[in-house]
Structure 1
């Protein structure tokens, strides 16, 4: 199974993908990461006790990879709990490269089945709380692992 590692100066967040629930979104993220798209980009939006958001090549939340993907909202794992990786968008079926990671469940229920959940941090949860606006994703690495 493939996993992602988001490397920052604050630490590494290891992410398991929900490929059965969101195969297109997972494939898109992996393809971008394997082409170094995310390397050097910032977390341009950080809202405490809500989300950290990154993946904009312009660094301000208005850019993408030059294509859009469809929302995948019907899977079993479409709940925005702490550590969940979800696709940001400007309306249905407009996601591309921007994603967010949830701080907690407390303020995210309204995102359920509106934004595609496609993974979850399984190691490095503490890093989420340390990320500040402008922090850099040094690199995003995709790895093949036997199990988590």
Structure 2
């Protein structure tokens, strides 16, 4: 089971990955994290009651890692519940580094099977309500656990 510890200005989120449902998105996030890609980036888009979004290297919402990955929409956990980590994109199969964390199911259900869900916040969930636009992702650390 692989997890990530995301230290933000508001505290630490522990994320559990959906390795079986979204292996490409999970590995992409892990690879970028291990390179320090997310360290120091801001949450550039925060819509209360909807999502907090980060992962844009230029802070505008238009940037990425210089490549795209395909959407993975067929897994059993492709539902945008509270705390779910999902790939942001500007059209099918255009995700790269940007991700969002859902505030609640009521306002995010329409994203199901349109954006790849690849993990979920399992500790520190209440902190997502405190994150504001401009808050910083200080560091993302990947935790590899033996099954």
TM-score normalised according to structure 2 size: 0.98
Gaps of 5+ in 1: none
Count of residue pairs the alignment pairs up: 147
Q: Deviations over 1:87-138 (max 9, x none)?
A: 0000000000000000011100110000000000000001100100000000
- Looking at structure 2, the residues matched to 2 and 68 of structure 1 have their Cα atoms a distance apart, in angstroms, of 22
- Looking at structure 2, the residues matched to 146 and 47 of structure 1 have their Cα atoms a distance apart, in angstroms, of 36
- Looking at structure 2, the residues matched to 43 and 146 of structure 1 have their Cα atoms a distance apart, in angstroms, of 31
Q: Deviations over 1:46-103 (max 9, x none)?
A: 0000000000001010000001000000000000000000000000000000000000
- Looking at structure 2, the residues matched to 109 and 3 of structure 1 have their Cα atoms a distance apart, in angstroms, of 24
Name the counterpart of 2:53.
53
Gaps of 5+ in 2: none
Shift of 1:145: 2.9
- Looking at structure 2, the residues matched to 51 and 45 of structure 1 have their Cα atoms a distance apart, in angstroms, of 8
Runs in 1 of length 4+ with deviation above 4 angstroms? Answer: none
TM-score normalised according to structure 1 size: 0.97
Q: RMSD of the alignment, in Å? A: 0.8
Shift of 1:9: 2.0
Name the counterpart of 1:22.
22
